[in-house]
Structure 1
Amino acid sequence: MRDDGPSGFPLVDLLLLEEEVKAHGEPRQGERVMCSEKVVELLELVWDGKPTQDPPSPSIAEIRGQAMKELNNLRHDHVRFLNPTPYKVSLSEDLFTMMHELWRTEAPIAELT
């Protein structure tokens, strides 16, 4: 989900495990995770072992248009070519632990020669 600030620009993306959302619900405006103004759902599930949507998927042109619209919503300092400001993406503690463990077990071990 994305937290849009008072100016309407995205501030941070927050990634959660599906189990966390089912167990605790989605973070709400004003909660400690600081979803301040507007929370935007980022993922539209289209495949869960089988297609999840009856209507046809959007065309490449529609997908490109949506991507351009999202880029235009970012603050200028995030998309400038010289010294761009990093865009914040936060992981829940459980997702961070899972990703770290996956990285630790799957990352190739460099050989020292």
Structure 2
Amino acid sequence: MKKLFVFLATLFMSIQILAVDFKPFEQASFDAALQTNKPVLVDVYADWCPTCKRQLSILEPMLQEEQFNDYSVFKVDYDQQKEVLKRFNVTRQSTLILFNEGKELRRGIAETNESRLRQFITVSE
């Protein structure tokens, strides 16, 4: 029983380490992530938005895949972070903005198709 507990605890910790988590948007953290020259995804999200919830249900498991381990992901609260929306020139919730090598690569609005979301967040080498 003790071995099983140790195994499960180790497995849980491993999963947590590999997980890309959606961090609340903070300018300093975002700026630091951009400086790494690795992909950064910004998700403009509203709790009441069904499209946002659908995007999240697709993106969360997708971002756990090994190819996305280097990504930093930030959530901008559409209802609470209006100044951030202005800085990014965003007018709608369910907006995704992908940065790579410190620059905006692309943005999309209201996409909920899994294959198109995968294509959107994938950065070609």
Give yes or no for TM over 0.5. no
| Structure with the greater alpha carbon radius of gyration | 1
Q: What TM-score do the two structures reach when normalised by structure 1?
A: 0.28
In the superposition, the TM-score normalised over structure 2's length comes to 0.27
Structure ranking higher in helix proportion: 2
